[in-house]
Amino acid sequence: MRIREHGAVSEDDAWSTVAAEWAATWGAAAAPAHAALLDATVVGAGARLLDVGCGSGELLRIAADRGALVAGCDPAPGMLALARRAAPEAALREAGVEDLPWPDGSFDVVTAVNALHLADDEEGALAELRRVLVPGGRIAVASWAEHAANDLDAIEAAVAEADGDDPSPDLPERLPGGLEALLAANGLAVEASGIVEAPWAAADDAALVSAVLLGEDAATLEELGPVVVAAAAPFRFPNGEYRLLNRFRWAVARA
Ligand SMILES: C[S@@+](CC[C@H](N)C(=O)[O-])C[C@H]1O[C@@H](n2cnc3c(N)ncnc32)[C@H](O)[C@@H]1O
């Protein structure tokens, strides 16, 4: 899943290219983080919620089921098409966090899961999230936890090494206290934060390799597939299934 470390969505719209496969393999991976954010922001009937970088719409589905009035945006049309299917009641727009197509003060809660780091300018992105919130509204963010907290990252480190890449350092917001510091530095009052476990499974070698190397070409799959399988050996069960334990950090702040 090396696409998650790539910067903002590229001109050739990398996220749309992998949308269906991403949704099938990783779309539910952040579900425990989604639930933590919606619990902490007390999202319920009538709350106006915007999910930025909504991907294939999993958070929107849960929020709508809790009675929220949901809106979402994502710059990748392929992701938005899936979100439209997952949450037909959502007001969806093709947009990145840099320029949200809603007026000031439109929402009670704005969420961004594994999306803020894809903005060119995270501080500008936070200011934009704040702009569309009502005074006293809540910003709720989550990201993968630090490498050491995720089985997946051990596999990705092995892939990077085999590919001749240096291990990527943890983004600051992945580290303990990182999301809280980012929010506080931007004038937001942190109310709650935490870390949640996010189990993930692949049925067999093929499913594991295509999920970890999502978006890579056939030659790369052939070259690095065996690296993925070898690195994942500690997480393999006798029936051939792989079960990984990953974690997400989350934080909620008031505007
Ligand atoms: C890892 S997925 C996360 C999807 C979803 N938020 C979740 O909870 O799983 C990242 C999403 O961010 C979107 N994205 C990429 N660049 C973005 C930007 N500048 N602003 C907002 N979203 C962006 C991608 O198109 C993709 O759908």
Secondary structure of 189-250 in the HEC alphabet?
Answer: EEEEEEEEEEEEEECCHHHHHHHHCCCCCHHHHHHHHHHHHHHCHHHECCCCCEEEEEEEEE
Ranges of H-type helices in 10-92: 14-17, 19-26, 31-40, 58-65, 77-86
Rounded to whole angstroms, how far apart are CA atoms 111 and 64? 13
Sheet-wide strand order for 189-202: 91-94, 69-74, 48-52, 107-113, 133-144, 242-254, 189-202
- Cβ 74 under 6 angstroms from ligand 1: yes
Q: What is the pLDDT along the chain (255 residues), one digit of tens a residue?
A: 555 454 444 456 899 999 999 999 999 999 999 999 999 998 889 999 999 999 999 999 999 999 999 999 999 999 999 999 999 999 999 999 999 999 999 999 999 999 999 998 999 999 999 999 999 999 999 999 999 999 999 999 999 999 999 888 999 999 999 999 999 999 999 999 999 999 999 999 999 999 999 999 999 999 999 999 999 999 999 999 999 999 999 999 999
CA atoms within a 13 Å half-sphere pointing along the CA-CB vector of 178:
18
- Taking the CA of residue 79 as reference, the ligand 1 atom at the shortest distance is 27
Ligand 1 pocket check for 59: Cβ under 6 Å: yes
Task: Give the start-to-end residue ranges of the domains of the chain.
Answer: 7-148+169-199+247-254
CB-ligand 1 contact for 144 (6 Å cutoff): no
Instruction: Specify the CATH architecture of the domain 7-148+169-199+247-254.
Output: 3-Layer(aba) Sandwich (3.40)
**Residues 207, 201 contacting (CB under 8 angstroms):** no
Q: What is the atom index within ligand 1 of the atom nearest the CA of 119?
A: 19
C-alpha separations of 234 from 39, 138, 145, 216, 231 in Å: 33, 40, 20, 24, 7
For ligand 1, atom 13, the nearest C-alpha belongs to 53
